[in-house]
Structure 1
Amino acid sequence: MVSEEADSWGLGEGGSRSWPTSKPERVDDQVTVLNEHRRLSLQEIDNARFSWIHAKICFVAGAGFFADAYDIFAISIIVSMLGYVYGNEDGNLSPWQSTGLKVATPIGNLIGQLVFGSLADIFGRKRVYGAELVLMVTATFGQALAGHGRAVNIVDVLVLWRFVMGIGCGGDYPQSAILMSEFAPIRTRGRLMTAVFSCQGWGQLVAGLVGLITVSAYKGAIRDASYPAIYPVDCIWRIIVGFGCIPGLIAFYFRYTIPETPRFTMDIQRNIAQATRDINNILSARRHTVAKGLSSDTLVMAPRASLADFIKHFSEWNNLKVLVGTAYSWFALDIPFYSLTLNSSAILTYSNFGKIDGNSPNDVYESLFRICSGNLVLTVAGFLPGFWVSFCLIDSWGRKTIQFMGFIVLTVLFMIMGFAYVPLNSTGPGQHAFIFLYCLANFFQNFGPNTTTFIVPGEAFPTRYRSTAYGISAACGKIGAVVAQFALGHTLLNSNKDMQIVLEVLSFVMFTGILSTQLIPETNQKALEYLSNESQEAYITGAIERGVPLYA
């Protein structure tokens, strides 16, 4: 079922509509035909049956997200390995080296989301889709081959490569989300976007699996190595990093076979005739005739993107509050998400499930095995189930309800974990209870704001600013990730006592997310055009062909 608001605009499933093919004589009638043609074209997208093109876009976008997540979150495992090879006598990198490796990617993400988000609204989703993947794969390959010398420290080289990789990964966010949202039917849009984003969980899972398998494969080499076990561990982390190139390379070809979205062609390129032909070719089971008088050279007169128009649109509170709501909600979510996820190895160590003291070959193997298996357990127990439940309920419960519930539950969970941290970690059963609560928090991050903050910005803005606004929202999230690493992640590496303070702070941050959720609209089962807060009745005001007005 679609919403009454969407159907009242003519984008629902009710009623029989005829496709306008004649060319009226009166100017008013001609403009009416253009608007009707646009409306019916959009209706074809919104009411389309699930088809191969939807599956293809979901797979291609998801493969990129899989690679993004693998590369970003594998660092939690790799930092421990780098400590044994290039760290101090205790087998650890300095706190600032560790923080630099973890914060470089979110900083790159921020830049990539803003730049590629804006470019996609200018040049098109298709034309820039794949460029970010080149950056990501190149930087990942560069990390795997990075060397250490007297003049250049390998950690500094890795920080630079991870920054470049972050730009590519960041550019993937608006591209993948917008492509899926603009192609998806109303009734399954939430599930399709969730399916794309859930590949983040699969990327984390495979990062843990590859780490565990590689460490196990080098078990004999580590234990037989002379003290310390530098060479085998140096090989292990390079294999783990290099594996991240594979899904990116697989997705690379398919990204250039993805068609441009009809919404971009229609509303930004302003070419309704070409958009109709694209819909006929890739989405519609029925073939519709382009209205007489419209050719591929005919451009309609409609709102166009410009700085002045952007300021005008978002100077209205009804539009600005949506951007503020999506941006701050993502900011609030990424503070705990990145401070805990990128430091999961430290959290496991505090609860006696991670790294152990000692640098003997046996100690090194035992520590790495526990870190990899611990990260694997956290992913399987929390991240993936959260995505699965979101997938099942996102189009029935709605985005706002799930986000609101997630922030409430996370506020309570972090409060319990923070204020009861000392008694929980004083005994063996208490430590198991703490890990259970941590996994539960991971579950409600993904069955909650981690999923919805990805979806809502891809639905709630006009087509001409959808990717730009999405990039702004996502970039605000990465500001939260950077704050998390400098203010909280660095603290996590200092002492067990500071962990308690961090969790208490995160509880307050989650509470502010409850407030920001009130600013966003419920986007479930509503047409993207309805959610744009712009009148669609007279969206088109005329047309021109080769610079000559046809009717206006």
Structure 2
Amino acid sequence: MAKEQLQVLNALDSAKIQLYHFKAIVIAGMGFFTDAYDLFCINPVMLLLGRLYYINTDPTKPGALPPNVKSAVAAVALCGTVAGQIFFGLLGDKLGRKKVYGLTLMLMVFCSLASGLSFGPFGPYGVEANAKAKAKAVISTLCFFRFWLGFGIGGDYPLSATIMSEYANKKTRGSFIAAVFAMQGFGILAGGIVTIIVSSAFNAANPAPAYNKDHPSLSTVPEADYVWRIIVMFGAIPAALTYYWRMKMPETARYTALVAKNAKQAAADMCTVLQVDLEAEPEKVETRGQGNDFGLFSKQFLQRHGLHLLGTTTTWFLLDIVFYGQSLIQPLIFTDVHWLPPSKQMNAIEEAYQNGKAQTLIALCGTVPGYWFTVVFIDKMGRFAIQLMGFFFMTVFMFALAIPFHHWTSPGNELGFVIMYSLIFFFANFGPNATTFVVPAEIFPARLRSTCHGISAAAGKIGSVLGTFVIVYASAPKPKGIGTKNTLMILGGVNLLGALFTLLVPESKGRSLEEISGEDEEEDSAEARTVTI
């Protein structure tokens, strides 16, 4: 038997698209813009770090970060993200979404700036006697601040997704949540553009000679140290610009009514947002939790949502192994297929410029369009169909690159490679990279929604950490690794597993959050209730 729905929830479910919807998308989305910028700008930054601090590790090659250092710099932010997703996911359900929403943004602002100010004097460290000590100091400090940067980024996942799902109407809810996440695409694009602009400006002002194997340090001018710091610090700007508006957002009516049990405040907040008159209905609020007060570790949660949580965690885990793993080996892939010249043919800043240009092109051709295809079609096709389709085509195109890899590495095939590689990103984003974010914000009860989304997102970032460490070592040329071709084959197999685990994820299109999660159901007997743990 369905419980009588609260007027404020009915008003939210049936609300026409209004200005506050778009304000919420921009306010929440700016966090994801910053998230993506900070996580994906690290590729050109690591190239510069290698040139600056590890120039003498191999006298026949330009400086490059050792695999263990490269993995640490890339993965430390992801480890922080895992911790932040779980921590802020729990806090979002215990204290409310709004109370901790500003803290995540401030962490991102402070740690972006601090990362760019990592300890150590400016200059071409590779030519100094104490280069190793200075390199260790800068890398260690950078890793410290990137961990806490990731911690703030992690908090934005469950909070932004939950807030947007609880503000949206049921007809366009998927599009609104996906639009918040789609700001990641613009963040990735901005990372490439900022790299292009900053490196071009510095290279034009003080051009460095091409790599010289007899004097490798000459290809790394001192100004290269400013370049990576400016790129990293730029991520603080969009986050800082939206802090005030994030603090002005009211708490979601679903949390206030269903979790905090404050009918009067929920009605007042939504009257302001929706510009309508709503009754408080305190008597309905008091009775809504009956039969649905089970906890995360209860038998009842396991029976109702256990397979759902398994589905959301495994699919996000498998996706991020591929998404972050292959993103990290992009420079190697681009060089293998002769899209970019070898490092030894470029000075340090020019190498950063070329990789920024490649990242921008991939974002324009595949990443950004993929996100917005999801926004347009998710409430028409449904979450399940888009996720299954995305995993399928990622598998197809990954194998299409890997199996005839010798063809793509032959001169003259660069355009075909760019098209195929862009299609992988397109179907990642018009597919599981978007839907794995949307679905956990819809299918769990209000009092556990942020927590379950945080757990699902943390599983994804654990996958990204695994992908970062394993793929960096695996993609190394033989005999140290298995090479780029075999690495792409493995990633294709992981995509196929993602498609299989998608079968555990329910469809949530066109239904209210309370209907999807079962919060509208009354229990037939007291025995059906479990003690909250």
SS in 1 for 2:164: helix
CA deviation after TM superposition for structure 1 residue 381, in Å: 0.9
- Equivalents in 1 of 2:283, 2:204: separation in Å? 71
Percent identity, please.
Answer: 35
Instruction: Kindly report which structure 2 residues correspond to 1:427-442, keeping only aligned pairs within 5 A, or say none.
Output: 427-442=410-425
432, 442, 445: which one aligns with 1:449? 432
1:331 maps to amino acid: F
SS in 1 for 2:242: helix
Q: Which residue of 2 aligns with 1:550?
A: none
Taking structure 1 as reference, are residues 301 and 192 closer, same or farther at Cα in structure 2, changes over 3 Å only?
closer
Q: Which residue of 2 aligns with 1:368?
A: 352
Contact 1:270/1:301, CA 8 A, preserved across alignment: no
2:144 equivalent to 1:160: yes
CA deviation after TM superposition for structure 1 residue 499, in Å: 0.9
2:338 maps to amino acid: N
Taking structure 1 as reference, are residues 98 and 354 closer, same or farther at Cα in structure 2, changes over 3 Å only?
farther
**Would you identify which runs of 4 or more consecutive aligned residues in structure 1 move more than 6 Å?**
304-307
CA deviation after TM superposition for structure 1 residue 357, in Å: 3.4
Q: Which residue of 2 aligns with 1:521?
A: 506
231, 247, 263: which one aligns with 1:240? 231
CA deviation after TM superposition for structure 1 residue 511, in Å: 0.9
Could you state the TM-score of these two structures normalised by the residue count of structure 1?
0.86
Contact 1:305/1:465, CA 8 A, preserved across alignment: no
Q: Which residue of 2 aligns with 1:279?
A: 270
- Equivalents in 2 of 1:347, 1:497: separation in Å? 14
2:200 equivalent to 1:200: no
CA deviation after TM superposition for structure 1 residue 273, in Å: 2.8
2:294 equivalent to 1:322: no
State which drifts further: 51-60 or 178-187.
Answer: 51-60
Q: Which residue of 2 aligns with 1:68?
A: 35
1:474 maps to amino acid: A
CA deviation after TM superposition for structure 1 residue 429, in Å: 3.0
- Equivalents in 1 of 2:34, 2:379: separation in Å? 26
Taking structure 1 as reference, are residues 309 and 100 closer, same or farther at Cα in structure 2, changes over 3 Å only?
closer
- Equivalents in 2 of 1:173, 1:415: separation in Å? 31
Q: Which residue of 1 aligns with 2:469?
A: 486
Could you state the TM-score of these two structures normalised by the residue count of structure 2?
0.89
Q: Which residue of 1 aligns with 2:84?
A: 112
Contact 2:73/2:143, CA 8 A, preserved across alignment: yes
Contact 1:58/1:192, CA 8 A, preserved across alignment: yes
Taking structure 1 as reference, are residues 451 and 271 closer, same or farther at Cα in structure 2, changes over 3 Å only?
same
Query: Gaps (5+ residues) in structure 1?
Result: 1-7, 10-34, 542-552
Deviation per residue, 1:469-495 (Å, 9 max, x gap): 000100000111011011112322446
Aligned-residue CA RMSD (Å): 2.3
Q: Which residue of 1 aligns with 2:249?
A: 258
2:427 maps to amino acid: F
CA deviation after TM superposition for structure 1 residue 369, in Å: 2.4
Taking structure 1 as reference, are residues 366 and 145 closer, same or farther at Cα in structure 2, changes over 3 Å only?
closer
2:309 maps to amino acid: L
SS in 2 for 1:394: helix
Q: Which residue of 2 aligns with 1:18?
A: none
Aligned residues: 499
- Equivalents in 2 of 1:388, 1:299: separation in Å? 40
- Equivalents in 1 of 2:462, 2:181: separation in Å? 20
Q: Which residue of 2 aligns with 1:41?
A: 8
Deviation per residue, 1:120-140 (Å, 9 max, x gap): 000000101011112111111
109, 113, 118: which one aligns with 1:141? 113
CA deviation after TM superposition for structure 1 residue 354, in Å: 3.2
- Equivalents in 1 of 2:292, 2:221: separation in Å? 56
Q: Which residue of 1 aligns with 2:443?
A: 460
2:327 equivalent to 1:344: no
1:517 maps to amino acid: T
Contact 1:60/1:255, CA 8 A, preserved across alignment: yes
Taking structure 1 as reference, are residues 238 and 508 closer, same or farther at Cα in structure 2, changes over 3 Å only?
same
Taking structure 1 as reference, are residues 277 and 310 closer, same or farther at Cα in structure 2, changes over 3 Å only?
farther
Q: Which residue of 1 aligns with 2:278?
A: 288
Q: Which residue of 1 aligns with 2:97?
A: 125
SS in 2 for 1:176: helix
- Equivalents in 2 of 1:416, 1:249: separation in Å? 42
- Equivalents in 1 of 2:185, 2:85: separation in Å? 20
- Equivalents in 2 of 1:268, 1:458: separation in Å? 16
CA deviation after TM superposition for structure 1 residue 301, in Å: 6.6
- Equivalents in 2 of 1:342, 1:358: separation in Å? 20
Larger radius of gyration: 1
- Equivalents in 2 of 1:345, 1:501: separation in Å? 17
Q: Which residue of 2 aligns with 1:331?
A: 317
